[in-house]
Amino acid sequence: MFKHLLPNKFKKIGWALIFLVCPLFLIFFPKSILTIDQLVDIVSIIALIGLLLTIGSEEKLEDERTSICRYKALAGAFLAFISITITAKLLSLIPIISYIIPGHLHKENIIDNPMWLIYFAAFFYHINFRALVRNEE
């Protein structure tokens, strides 16, 4: 079903990027020539590449059941992403929110940051996929 998945070893590389490279990058490079915004952007790119590798890698045992679980998890992650986006946009229409959430009108909070929505959707996918595969076994 999924014909263009990466080999399973890329899943380990992706998790290493997320849990080893990103923190080490933040620890060893904060006093470099990069500004904090550039540093955060670089770490976000590394984390997104890691998430892409983990989502795009096949399982050790890849069959039709895992493909169906992958479809269901992707659909659930997409629905979660859309739901959170709609909720955030609806909340931004309420004037009192600007007083409750500091920085709301300046797009500084976590609700309006699309990167956090992408991270949430990717982790939602992983959790949902693991649960679906576990239930199939």
Q: Summarize pLDDT for 32-72 with one digit per residue, the tens.
A: 777 777 788 888 888 889 988 998 888 888 788 888 888 89
Distances (CA, A) of 1 to 50, 51, 110, 123, 129: 23, 21, 36, 22, 16
Q: Report d(CA 131, CA 73) in Å as an integer.
A: 9
pLDDT band at 10 (very low <50, low <70, confident <90, very high): very high
Residue 13 pLDDT greater than 90, yes or no:
yes
Both tokens assigned to 55:
């989502």
Structure tokens at 75: 């659909």
Give the pLDDT band of residue 9 (cuts 50, 70, 90): very high
Query: pLDDT digits over 72-111, tens only?
Result: 998 988 998 888 878 877 777 776 655 565 554 554 555 5
98 token code pair: 């600007």
pTM of the model: 0.71
Name which residue leads in pLDDT, 22 or 96: 22
